[in-house]
Amino acid sequence: MTPHVSSHQWHLAQRPTGTPTSEDVKFVTVELPPLAENEVRVRNEFISVDPYMRGRMNDVKSYVPPFQLDQVMDADAVGRVIESRSPELAVGQLVQHFQGWRDVAQGDASRFTAREEVPSVASSVYLSALGLTGLTAWVGLLLIAEMKAGDTVFVSGAAGAVGSAVGQLARLRGASRVIGSAGTDEKVALLTSRYGFDAAFNYKNGSVSRMLREAAPDGIDVYFDNVGGDHLEAAIFAFNNGGRAAICGAISGYNAEHAEPGPRNLAMLISKGVTLKGFTIPSYQQHAPEFFREISPLVASGEFVFDETVIDGVENTFDAWLGLMRGENTGKMLVRVAAED
């Protein structure tokens, strides 16, 4: 008989209005039962915090179901098997799964996917460059926006997890010019010095439309939208004929209490023949092997760089998520779970 073990986890206490506060969540300790046959117990190493989790706090139908009140807020995570009653997963195996926002997870072995160690890279890479983040960049740029060599590409949220990957991929795939926007001067400097962007601007410094026009005097062919709002409107103004946008996210409105009106210039889509196409990554998982084959050697060789902003302690997960929404991250925002004492 295996001993009982505690799991420290985050539950949704009530559905937030506007920007969530500490009143909306609670950090609780749950006693886990002994493992049943074919189950494993996993100690998480890294937990993902993501913008889309804001939508799951609302009780609305979407591509992922809403969080349930008084239930753990699940999320992408990587961890290591610490106890096993499954012949498939041995103790010590690195696994990826969807039982984040807690330190210890357990369940049927089929809910955990074995991952290979990537030499000299932390296991967190499966939540950033080689995980859903990287796949989102790859699918959005190549399959949704159909970027081709010679295109001028604009990326918003460009110093974040997805955006910094998009900029590098555009450069590797032969874009003629890559432009990014971000919310601090430090991030803007990184875009050109580290992530291969040709030009960048701080969207808080003035009109996005004007700054984009200056950065892309010959217009843009592709827009990768992480932000929505004024960025999308500016991109529509800047599009060349036949322009294509991958509508990936709209973070500028996630905490809004009332929906803002959309871009005022949608009629320009007609005359320019522009396509705006949304997507959600769960519908494109079949492309993960192709993505992985292209990007993993580039990560291993250091040709494709990625940054992670790591907050320590499962007890700080909600604060890490709030920080992400305020732009306190460069690259992927993650929580590192302390090893057991």
Are 166 and 224 contacting, i.e. CB atoms less than 8 angstroms apart? yes
Are 166 and 140 contacting, i.e. CB atoms less than 8 angstroms apart? yes
Tokens of 149: 């060599």
Residue numbers 274-303 binding ligand NAP by CB under 6 A: 279-281
Tokens of 10: 């985050």
Closest CA to 137 of 105, 112, 104, 160: 160
Which residues, including other chains, have CB under 8 Å from residue 261's CB and lie 6 or more apart? none
Q: DSSP for 197-228, please give it.
A: -SEEEEGGGS-HHHHHHHH-TT-EEEEEESS-
Tokens of 111: 């809910």
Min dist CB 61 to ligand NAP, Å, is 16
Please identify, among the stretches 13-21, 86-94, 211-219, 319-327, the one whose residues bind ligand NAP according to the rule CB under 6 A.
Answer: 319-327
Binding to ligand NAP by CB under 6 A, coded x per residue (else -) over 47-86, reads ---xxx----------------------------------
Min dist CB 191 to ligand NAP, Å, is 10
The residue within the footprint of ligand NAP, chosen from 9, 44, 99, 252 (CB under 6 A), is 252
Any contact of residue 323 with ligand NAP (CB under 6 A)?
A: no
Min dist CB 247 to ligand NAP, Å, is 8
Q: How far apart are CA 77 and CA 178, in angstroms?
A: 31
C-alpha 210 chain-centroid distance: 28
Please identify, among the stretches 22-30, 71-79, 103-111, 327-335, the one whose residues bind ligand NAP according to the rule CB under 6 A.
Answer: 327-335
Nearer to ligand NAP by Cβ, of 159 and 212: the residue is: 159
Q: Site residues (CB under 6 A) for ligand NAP?
A: 50-52, 133, 136, 157, 159-163, 182-184, 187, 226-227, 248-249, 251-252, 279-281, 324-325, 327, 329, 333
